[in-house]
Amino acid sequence: MSSSSNSTSTKGRWTHKKARSSTRGKLGELSEKEWNLLEPFDVLDLKDKDGNLESFHVSDTIAIVSSKDVSKLQLYDYWIGKIKGIRGESESSRAWVMVNWYYSPRDVKAQIPVFEPSPSARYERIYSHHCDIVSATHIAGKVSVFQLLEDNADQHPIPANSFFSRYYFDIKGGPKNFAVMQFTYHDPATSISTIHSAINIMRCDLCAGPYNPEAFDPDEIQRWCPAPECRRGFHHRCLDAADKKSEPFPSVTDLILARIANNDDTQSTDDGPPARLTHENLHCIPAQLLTLAAQPLVRGERFGVAGNIAMIAHARRTIHSALSDQSLPTCKTPYSFRSNHVDLNLDLWYKDPAFNGWEGAIIEELDPHRGEDRMRLLRCPQCTRAI
């Protein structure tokens, strides 16, 4: 086995000439002292069963064989780790990787009995700084772990059947000295390794339960409030139960105005329509864009782990931005039937890449041209805005 330098700035490349093993990875094969005596490498080349080379680097996320019978493994059955270091013996066929583990929720529950994982969370993983040294021959391949930031209105979509992570797990000295913390967008968990004996995660204020990203029950869908003082979600079933006595909103038009007013860039606490978007000028906006922007922001079930939140939030911003510096007359004639409408540069709104597949984000058919139809309004329990 040989090592060849790629450039003066790299430590070298380690290439394994044999196919990878299909047996379960063994932990603790190498002590930390033995690891420190090995030669470090920047790149690890491994051959698959067909003889093709795959290169691995520090910071790559990998799947590690977790069972003796690989043929029965599903993707979510593999162990998942992030490469922290690569070392080997340049004159032999042996190499190892040091990995930070992504725990499954069940694994965290085993360590911390008070932690309640989301049911059916097959692809959820919880990042940790717990390290192990694993033989490189037990690497199955690269995988992606997407980060889910529950308070981020611009959360990128997470493909179906993909690993994702929203929590960080640290345990030192047993179950009385631990931390399970939420990765957040507006208040990043930068010092979580120093906080112990705490489970600090986002929960539905109405039931104290977390969002279950992989549930297939419509009642488990999360309704999300984008208001700057909230940026949090609530189970649909909880909102429905808490709001049973509420009166239906007077009209679809009022519902559209109230929802679009709840924008993540809005600073006003007024639940009414935002400045310049009113009953009188509502039809200055293309009907399909209005319908999209007025959708409830949801996560879960058929809408996926990340949901439709980023697209709906972007639609609301698009409308607010178009109206911000315009002097609008009354636009009582529907947008699509006017030849001399106010030009807000929204004719090609759907060409924006952020709106790709926008039809899939539609939950409710809200026709602004049938404004007298009545629909029920759900409100955020925290800020009382329309969600």
Domains of the chain (ranges, CATH numbers): 3-200 (2.30.30.490), 218-370 (no CATH)
Burial class (CB in 10 A: 0-12, 13-18, 19+), 92: exposed
Which pLDDT belongs to residue 338? 42
The half-sphere exposure of 233 on its side-chain side, counting CA atoms within 13 A, is 30
State yes or no: pLDDT of 277 exceeds 80: no
pLDDT tens-digit map of 143-197:
999 999 999 999 999 999 999 999 998 876 666 677 888 988 876 544 334 444 5
Q: Is the Cβ–Cβ distance between 109 and 140 less than 8 Å?
A: no
Report the length, in residues, of the chain: 387
pLDDT, average across residues 361-378? 78
pLDDT digits (tens, 9 = 90+) for 102-131: 999 999 888 888 888 887 789 999 999 889
Average per-residue pLDDT for the chain: 81
pLDDT for the residue 24: 45
User: Where are the strands (E) in the chain, listed by range?
Assistant: 3-4, 13-19, 39-40, 43-47, 53-57, 61-64, 79-88, 95-103, 126-135, 139-142, 145-147, 163-165, 167-171, 178-182, 198-200, 222-225, 232-235, 298-299
* HSE value, Cβ hemisphere, 13 Å, CA-based, for 186: 14
% of the chain surpassing 90 pLDDT: 46
Which region among 20-34, 35-49, 286-300, 337-351 has the lowest average model confidence (pLDDT)?
A: 20-34
44 or 267, which is more confident: 44
Q: Is the pLDDT of residue 272 over 60?
A: no
